[in-house]
Amino acid sequence: MQRKYLIIVIVLFLASLLASCSGTDTVATEADPNQKVTFALETVYAQLTSTLQSMQAAASPTATVTPVPPPTATPVPPTETPTNTFDGTLTAAAAQPAQESAAAPANNNNSDGKKCYHANLEYETVPDGTEFLQGQPFTKVWRLKNIGSCDWNRNFTLRFIDGDLMGAGSSIPFPDETIPTWGYLNIEVPMKAPLEVGTYRGNWMIVSDDGKIFGIGPDAKSWFWVDIKVKADK
């Protein structure tokens, strides 16, 4: 690009020089020849400088600043955490049962911070995964310890929460006795294996005489269960 400008400048220079020299014929002969040449050169230089600046300005690209829009934040939908905890309605849930339940009342604590209703599972028959034939009867026994500050009485019940009932009643009354704090209760529930081959589980908790639902675990919110496998009768 610079070489092209140089050629144009030289051509214009020569043309202007010739025009200037030819025009001096009309000037008075008394003038100094050296002054003529100097004047012609200054005129040509000024014209070339102006022409070169105009050409450079026209050839120089004009930078255009395009504003970049700020990044648009894409909203992320909240992640829902599924829960299968007991909601207090005592209806069977269709989903997989969870280990924890929200059934224990918020006012289960006494003024000293100890829970009024709280159980601990000490022992149970029919360990998880025990196999039974289709329709085979069995008895599930839970040995529960009263670790709360309130006594249990005959008006308490063992209540089915959700899962598979397996032929049992949904509410099993406590025996006709009082279970004090640190006392034990053995409660038996007759059941029957379902007729379809598969794995079955039923979750249970305790209901007090004033309608409070509670169970085992650190917060008395966990249920205890029966879990079996039914195999085909060969």
Residues of the chain with pLDDT under 50: 21, 23-31, 37, 59-66, 68, 71, 73-87, 89, 91-106
CB 154 within 8 A of CB 173: yes
The pLDDT score that the predictor gives to residue 231 is 97
Answer yes or no: are the C-beta atoms of 198 and 204 closer than 8 Å: no
The whole-number pLDDT of residue 118 equals 98
Spans of all domains in the chain:
2-22+32-58, 119-231
User: Is residue 57 left, alpha or beta, with left meaning phi > 0 and alpha meaning psi from -120 to 50?
Assistant: alpha
Burial degree of 13 (CB within 10 A; 0-12, 13-18, 19+): middle
pTM of the model: 0.56
The enclosing H or E element of 225 equals: strand 224-231
In Å, how far from its chain's centre is CA 83?
15
Q: Which CATH architecture has domain 119-231?
A: Sandwich (2.60)
pLDDT of residue 91: 43
Residue that is written with structure tokens 């955490």 in the block: 81
Asked if residue 90 lies in contact with residue 203, where contact means CB atoms within 8 angstroms, the answer is: no
What is the per-residue pLDDT across 136-183, written as a single tens digit (0 to 9) for each? 999 999 999 999 999 999 999 999 999 999 999 999 999 999 999 999
